[in-house]
Amino acid sequence: MLNVKSRDLVHATAPILKQHGVALTTHFYARMFQYNPELKQIFNEGHQQSGAQQQALAMAVAAYAEHIDNPSVLAPVLTHIANKHISLGIRPEHYPIVGHHLLASIREVLGEAASDELITAWAAAYGQLADVLIAEEAQLYAAAAFKQGGWTGWRGFVVAKKEVESSEITSFYLRPADGGSVPDYAPGQYISVRMFVPEWNLMQPRQYSLSDAPGNDYLRISVKREQIGNIIGQVSNLLHNTVNVGDVIDLAPPAGDFVLHQDRKTPVVLISGGVGITPMLSMLKHIVKTSSDRAVRFVHGCRNAEVHAFKNAVNQLATQQSNLEKVFFYGEACPDLSHDHLGYVDLVKIADSAILPDADYYICGPLAFMQAQIKSLQTMGVSAERIHAEAFGTGGVAA
């Protein structure tokens, strides 16, 4: 445990970190990759080049300093980070390396303001944080390894099927190359894919939501092709352009804390934007597959019919399941009127059918989309504990 003096010293740096945190974390990553270039393959190079990773770490460090007196406030955030870490293969031996470069960066960036006393306090604070994450990650690694079909690290999977879902999204059906079984997972979780990116001369991991219900003999991801030239789209373009049926790719085991609460019988409202439909489809198909009688509302928004993935699958389920209602929002009018509303997803407009008593609301999509839907739900009186969200984009970047 940190003593009072150390906590006070760390807490006093919170305002400085909020103002200058990105400069610190930018220096930190540059320093760490200079001395430990082998760690580059763990981190998303696209997020490094865009500055998203540096921004995310700066926010995390400042939040830790601000709540150092009561770090339990950050427990949900730490659980989220721990899941990201096990999906990237971060192990206990990485923490001393990160800590060394972080402390050196604090001293080098803050200069005379970084007294020996402050560095000692931050070393203790970092050690406390590392211990919490290492312990939580150990539990997650053990759970992943000991379940039927489970593993840790990377495992080869064969592409058994490649299916175009829309003009932007393609699904990959993946089976273990070793002939073994696949593990169970919670609807909403993701897996990491690792591929070699020639332009960067690096192995690069990326997380993709599992887009089918658990219980099959395959894992399915549905990947959006990012625009060519977009620094955050290198791996998605490799998957679309170069990976074919019969190829083998490396996967990490399922992870993630944005999951369907299967222990509840409350109504479920699934709200997605763009490729954020993928974990929602997993949740929806699991509810149907388990013959649950929970009322379900499936709300999805996208630009137009061409980019709308899984439209037919959701429509078919809606005709078969009396407890399921779907609503589609399109940004552009569709000639065949396959959408229900024109414009951005507007929950107020469909409140009579989509806002249900005691429902749990799951939201997935770009950060701005997620923020808008949360604000709308809160305005309509939905309590925070009933809102569960996962941002696809830089808002979900882990340090």
Cα–Cα dist 72/18, whole Å: 20
* 137 is known as an active-site residue: yes
395 labelled as ligand-binding? no
85 labelled as ligand-binding? yes
327 labelled as ligand-binding? no
Given the residues 45, 66, 136, 137, the one annotated as active site: 137
276 labelled as ligand-binding? yes
274 labelled as ligand-binding? yes
* 332 is known as an active-site residue: no
190 labelled as ligand-binding? yes
Given the residues 29, 45, 64, 95, the one annotated as active site: 95
279 labelled as ligand-binding? yes
159 labelled as ligand-binding? no
191 labelled as ligand-binding? no
374 CB-contact burial (10 Å; exposed 0-12 / middle 13-18 / buried 19+): middle
173 labelled as ligand-binding? no
278 labelled as ligand-binding? yes
Q: Which residues carry a binding-site annotation for FAD?
A: 190, 206-209
**Active site positions, annotated:** 95, 137
Q: Which residues carry a binding-site annotation for heme b?
A: 85
Q: Which residues carry a binding-site annotation?
A: 85, 190, 206-209, 274-279
